[in-house]
């Protein structure tokens, strides 16, 4: 698929969110999109997914596409498997194939027990598994993932990592946005950054930008927690710095405020979970040091 001189603004006089974006999305590739909050990443992904149209410019060569939006419409009057079968049909599958794939994917995500649960009664995590499943069961040539890992438990996040690798290995293109700079680290064939209204390709090996790491001067949060036996801070979202807590039994994790929710979720969802003692804003860094 190709984008040529694509621009998008909301309303005829609204500011340009994206302007003059030209982009080639080759088959068999994994593409990461980065940028600050509100920079236009979701806008770009909606254009790629075909659920929004450019205000100017052209998109050509659209393949069969599936999309996991940042927010999933959870209140629809379906059971999980009923909804997935319905969407499978929308993607062009026969009902029986759609139902079989829905069941297989729910099973892979550890949510088979919720196949017959109404969507409105699902937990946030299970809803997200349904959101991801509706895209994966289509076996699309282009898979667009907008923060699709958010809300998934660690095992489901790994399942999604594997599913992405499988899609790419099958010749597909996967484009993703994620707040965790280490998501699929080293696996992306190309990385792009939305800055102002531009989309720039990042050189291979470029460090994650301030939106992903938090940057020296962005607000930070200190989480003091008791680690379960054997746990380390090495694989936690937001790359927190870890130091021993004041009483010797806790670990003090300092993380960019933008990542504190994801970090807390990961700590609470760990098996066994971390025990959170306190969550406090960090003092601003000392400018004179
Ligand atoms: N439907 C809409 N109507 C009007 N303005 C919009 C709409 N969607 C997005 N915007 C504006 O476009 C800009 C880019 O938003 P977008 O959601 O694409 O950014 P983002 O990088 O995905 O943000 P985040 O990281 O917070 O999800 C923002 O200023 C936002 O307010």
Lowest mean pLDDT across 94-108, 149-163, 265-279? 265-279
Q: How confident is the model at residue 248 (pLDDT cuts 50, 70, 90)?
A: confident
Q: What is the pTM of this model?
A: 0.75
181 in contact with ligand 1, CB cutoff 6 A: no
Point out which residues pair with 221 in neighbouring strands: 255, 281
Crossing angle of helices 80-90 and 124-136, rounded to 10°? 30
Indicate whether residue 43 lines ligand 1 (CB < 6 A).
yes
Q: What is the pLDDT of residues 64-80, one digit of tens each?
A: 999 999 887 767 889 99
Nearest CA to ligand 1 atom 30: 38
* pLDDT reading at 213 higher than 80: no
Averaged over 166-179, what is the pLDDT?
Answer: 94
CB of 10 sitting under 6 A from ligand 1: yes
Question: Ligand 1 test: best mutation among 42, 49, 180, most atoms within 8 Å of CB?
Answer: 42
Identify the pLDDT of residue 12: 87
**Does 40 contact ligand 1 (Cβ within 6 A)?**
yes
Structure confidence at residue 218 as a pLDDT band (50, 70, 90): low
Measured CA to CA, the distance from residue 25 to residue 28 in angstroms comes to: 9
Q: What is the pLDDT of residue 288?
A: 39
Cα–ligand 1 centroid distance for 210 (angstroms): 19
Q: Is pLDDT larger for residue 286 or for residue 57? A: 57
Over the chain, what is the mean pLDDT?
Answer: 89
Assembly ipTM: 0.97
pLDDT for 42 beyond 70: yes
Q: 103-116 burial, b for 16+ CB within 10 Å, e for fewer?
A: bebbebbbbeebbe
CA triplet 141, 72, 134: central angle to 5 degrees?
A: 35
- Six-digit token string for 274: 């971390």
Q: Which residues, other chains included, contact 5 with Cβ-Cβ below 8 Å and sequence gap of 6+?
A: 20, 21, 22, 56, 57, 58
**Which pLDDT score, from 0 to 100, does residue 35 have?**
93
Give the ligand 1 atom nearest the CA of 194: 21
Concatenating the DSSP letter of every residue in 32-43 gives EEEE-TTSSHHH
For a ligand 1 pocket test, name from 7, 9, 10 the mutation site with the most ligand atoms within 8 angstroms of its C-beta.
10
**Residue 257 binned pLDDT confidence (cut-offs 50, 70, 90):** confident
**Atom 18 in ligand 1: residue holding the nearest Cα:** 40
Query: Which atom of ligand 1 is closest in space to residue 39's alpha carbon?
Result: 21
Helices 95-108 and 80-90, packing angle to 10 deg: 130
CA-nearest residue, atom 17 of ligand 1: 42
Ligand 1 pocket, mutate which of 38, 48, 199 (most atoms under 8 A from CB): 38
Do residues 101 and 88 make contact, with C-beta atoms less than 8 angstroms apart? yes
What percent of the chain has pLDDT above 90? 62
Q: Which of the four pLDDT bands, split at 50, 70 and 90, describes residue 284? A: low
Residue nearest ligand 1's atom 29 by CA: 38
Predicted local confidence at residue 194, as pLDDT: 95
- Output the pLDDT for position 285: 57
Q: Whose CA is nearest to atom 7 of ligand 1?
A: 10
């Amino acid at each position: 698929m190709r984008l040529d001189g694509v621009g998008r603004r909301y309303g005829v006089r609204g500011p340009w969110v994206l302007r003059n974006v030209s982009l080639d999305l080759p088959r068999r590739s994994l593409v990461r999109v980065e940028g600050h909050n509100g920079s236009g990443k979701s806008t770009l992904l909606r254009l790629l997914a075909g659920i929004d149209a450019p205000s100017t410019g052209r998109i050509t060569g659209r393949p069969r596409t599936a999309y996991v939006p940042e927010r999933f419409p959870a209140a629809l009057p379906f059971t999980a498997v009923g909804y997935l079968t319905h969407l499978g049909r929308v993607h062009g599958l026969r009902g029986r194939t759609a139902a079989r794939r829905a069941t297989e994917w729910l099973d892979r995500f550890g949510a088979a027990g919720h196949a017959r649960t109404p969507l409105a009664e699902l937990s946030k995590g299970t809803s997200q598994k349904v959101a991801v499943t509706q895209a994966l069961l289509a076996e699309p040539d282009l898979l667009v993932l907008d923060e699709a890992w958010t809300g998934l438990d660690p095992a489901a996040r790994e399942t999604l990592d594997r599913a992405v690798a499988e899609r790419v290995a099958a010749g597909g293109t996967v484009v993703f946005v994620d707040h965790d700079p280490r998501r699929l680290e080293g696996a992306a064939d190309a990385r792009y950054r939305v800055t102002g209204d531009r989309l720039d390709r990042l050189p291979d090996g470029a460090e994650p930008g301030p939106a992903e790491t938090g940057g020296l001067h962005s607000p930070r949060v200190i989480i003091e927690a008791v680690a379960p036996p054997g746990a380390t801070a090495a694989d936690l979202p937001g790359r927190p710095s870890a130091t021993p807590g004041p009483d010797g039994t806790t670990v003090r994790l300092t993380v960019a405020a933008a990542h504190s929710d994801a970090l807390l979720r990961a700590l609470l969802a760990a098996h066994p979970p971390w025990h959170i003692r306190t969550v406090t804003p960090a003092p601003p860094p000392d400018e004179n040091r």
